[in-house]
Amino acid sequence: MAFPISSGIDQRFSLPNLLTYGRVVAVPVVVACLFWSENFTMRWIALGIFTAAGITDFLDGYLARALSQQSSLGRMLDPIADKLLVAAVILMLVADHTIASYSLWAALVILCREILVSGLREFLAELKVSMPVSRLAKWKTVLQIVALGFLIAGPAGDQFLQTSLHLGPTVSTRVGLALLWFAALLTLYTGWDYMKAGVKHTISEAEPK
């Protein structure tokens, strides 16, 4: 999300950037709720805040384009807010054993990919090369958000679906873990695309002019 701000408007306080700030602020609040994850009410509160933060991820970019309020500040903060939210939630879900056993590999793939892409972006920025987000990477992000939403609900969601819809005892958690694995596979694919782009630019930079 990159914001040409119209004259007279401070880019720091444009509506899209305010939404991004809100997503950053949501991170410690969601973490605090998940710290008491054995309390189902806290899980539902965490899910509500996480869902609102996920919606702002779409809205800030849309509003930036619609209002012609794109900026370098927004471009910098938007992926940082996304990565903070996803990484913090994954770590808390691992800590309370919602993500456990073999599913830890899916979480590890997602976290490692985020570190890899951040490093590549920093390197390519020094070469004055931009690395735009692909459409598939955007779908990967959506899938991650949905998967983590199911997992945040976790046992609370399992109980609700069992009592209200008479489904199995762990439906919410199983759906979340399945989607997390799909997201991890997409993460590997998109991460490889970014890696190829980074290697390509590295080789071209090293070649004699």
pLDDT digits (tens, 9 = 90+) for 128-164: 666 666 778 788 888 999 999 999 999 999 999 988 8
**Over the range 92-113, which residues count as b (16 or more CB within 10 Å of their CB) and which as e?**
bbbebebbeeebeebbebbbeb
pLDDT digits (tens, 9 = 90+) for 103-128: 999 999 999 988 887 777 777 766 66
pLDDT of 133 reads: 67
Which amino acid, residue 180? L
pLDDT of 205 reads: 59
**Angle, CA of 75, 79 and 80, to the nearest 5°:** 105
Give the percent of the chain with pLDDT over 90.
44
pLDDT digits (tens, 9 = 90+) for 7-17: 445 677 788 88
CB 141 within 8 A of CB 87: no
pTM for this predicted structure: 0.84
Select the CATH number that applies to the domain covering 11-206 from these four: 1.10.150, 1.20.120, 3.40.50, 1.10.3470: 1.20.120
CB 154 within 8 A of CB 36: no
Which amino acid, residue 65? R
> What is the residue whose two structure tokens read 């990967």?
140
DSSP labels for 28-66? HHHHHHHHTTTSHHHHHHHHHHHHHHHHHHHHHHHHHHH
